[in-house]
Amino acid sequence: MARLKVVTVVGARPQFIKAAAVTPELRRFADEILVHTGQHYDRELSAAFFEELGLPEPDVNLGVGSGSHGVQTGAMLCRLDPLLARERPDWVLVYGDTNSTLAGALAAAKLGIPVAHVEAGLRSYNRAMPEEQNRVLVDHLAARLYCPSEAARENLRREGITDGVRVVGDVLDDALALVPDRPEVVAELGLERGGYYLATVHRQENTDRPERLRGILQGLSALDAPVVLPLHPRTARRMAELGLKPPGRSIRIVPPQPYGATLTLVRHSRAVLTDSGGLQREAGALGIPCYVLRDETEWGELVASGRAVLVGAEPDRIVAAVRAGAARGRPGAGRGAAARVVRDLVGVAHA
Ligand code: UD1
């Protein structure tokens, strides 16, 4: 039986984590060409993750860098098209909902190469979000759709997508096992275990609307314990442009953290406050309460089960929800999604 040829397209921090869970399994059965679009390029958002997670060096880096969504996605398409035309893989594998996901799927579909999408079927139903646009478009282009949950499968069914849909679980649950706990990180940041909150803010809807960014910082600074805030470069730049400084002294701003340190900070926190999809799930899987700094989430199951609570960006609402202990952490990880993705992809190719 000939080995499969798969081009995997990644580009942003969360995709390196997901690929680190899938790639070792995939390479047992397939020849993988790992393509990095270059969407994330700072060491702390990119190379540091490859090293820490043992992800093989990308075979190709397209070096697109930052830009408006259209320019960035277009640059990726221009560079992916000749590469895919030359390599002619059996599959193009993409993860999640970033511009790199869309470019990988669209470039492949235009060449008639089948697309496999990991994290299919998620919907926030907010079409103003670039990530929601990417999710919907990629799911409508994909031939194999790997859903983390039955709810995601149901979202696809409502859009008329039923062929090639598989519920496999969440590959991030597999990634949790790739890095050891590093409890010393907590003390190094001058924090006590169980005595702080972990917060992150990087979504465009929060960073590009000053009233939301200001409201979130106000809310965080009014909590009853210190808040550690690893800052995405986009958020740092917006805060500098707006002259925004967190009020009071309880917010500790630190650079973006490596994966192991982030999981450690989640594990030992009182609660997580975030607009990141990945962190919502990591908190959920590790049994830590999560407050979502958005008005809707594509991870509705976490809200339905009480693990996560939507708190938006108004300070009073954020503080009241945390004070009331509105979110209830309960461990819920189930491993094996990465192996299920690979088994299915190999099976369908050889069927
Ligand atoms: C992207 C994804 C988002 C994902 C996030 C993970 C899209 C539409 N969004 O958002 O879904 O949750 O990655 O982190 O694809 N920048 C740097 N250094 C870098 C990369 C970016 O300073 O290495 C700055 C640049 O100013 C850039 C801005 O961050 O303009 C935004 O970067 P971009 O890749 O467009 O989106 P993210 O906000 O990172």
Alpha carbon 209 to its chain centroid, in Å, reads 21
- The CA-CA-CA angle for residues 253, 257, 260, to 5°, reads 140
For residues 269 and 257, give the distance between their C-alpha atoms in angstroms, rounded to a whole number: 15
- The CA-CA-CA angle for residues 147, 296, 215, to 5°, reads 140
For residues 258 and 254, give the distance between their C-alpha atoms in angstroms, rounded to a whole number: 11
Report the Cα–Cα distance between both ends of the chain, in Å, rounded: 11
CA proximity to 15, closest of 141, 235, 171:
171
User: 91 CA to middle of ligand 1, Å?
Assistant: 26
Q: What are the start-end ranges of the E strands in 11-101?
A: 30-36, 60-61, 91-95
User: 285 CA to middle of ligand 1, Å?
Assistant: 25
For residues 86 and 233, give the distance between their C-alpha atoms in angstroms, rounded to a whole number: 35
Q: Is 133 in the pocket of ligand 1 (CB under 6 A)?
A: no
Q: Is 135 in the pocket of ligand 1 (CB under 6 A)?
A: no
Between strands 4-10 and 197-200, the pairing is: unpaired
Helix H or strand E encompassing 8? strand 4-10
Burial 215-234 (b: 16+ CB within 10 A, else e): bbbbbbbbbeebbbbbbbee
User: pLDDT tens string for the chain (351 positions)?
Assistant: 689 999 999 999 999 999 999 999 999 999 999 999 999 999 999 999 999 999 999 999 999 999 999 999 999 999 999 999 999 999 999 999 999 999 999 999 999 999 999 999 999 999 999 999 999 999 999 999 999 999 999 999 999 999 999 999 999 999 999 999 999 999 999 999 999 999 999 999 999 999 999 999 999 999 999 999 999 999 999 999 999 998 888 999 999 999 999 999 999 999 999 999 999 999 999 999 999 999 999 999 999 999 999 999 999 999 999 999 999 988 776 899 999 999 999 988 666
Beta-carbon count within 10 A of 162 CB: 10
CA proximity to 263, closest of 176, 186, 149, 201:
176
Residue nearest to ligand 1 atom 11, measured at CA:
98
For residues 309 and 329, give the distance between their C-alpha atoms in angstroms, rounded to a whole number: 11
CA separation, residue 87 to residues 2, 6, 32, 82, 93 (Å): 16, 9, 11, 9, 14
The number of the ligand 1 atom at minimal distance from the alpha carbon of 98 is 15
Q: Is 98 in the pocket of ligand 1 (CB under 6 A)?
A: yes
Alpha carbon 219 to its chain centroid, in Å, reads 24
Q: Is 44 in the pocket of ligand 1 (CB under 6 A)?
A: no
The number of the ligand 1 atom at minimal distance from the alpha carbon of 97 is 11
Q: What is the pLDDT of residue 349?
A: 66
The number of the ligand 1 atom at minimal distance from the alpha carbon of 233 is 22
Q: Is 66 in the pocket of ligand 1 (CB under 6 A)?
A: yes
Pull the structure tokens for residue 247. Answer: 């009020």
Q: What is the pLDDT of residue 1?
A: 66
Alpha carbon 148 to its chain centroid, in Å, reads 13
Active site positions, annotated: 202
Q: What is the pLDDT of residue 276?
A: 97
Please report the sign of the dihedral spanned by the C-alpha atoms of residue 303, residue 278, residue 207, residue 79. negative
Q: Is 230 in the pocket of ligand 1 (CB under 6 A)?
A: no
For residues 195 and 186, give the distance between their C-alpha atoms in angstroms, rounded to a whole number: 10
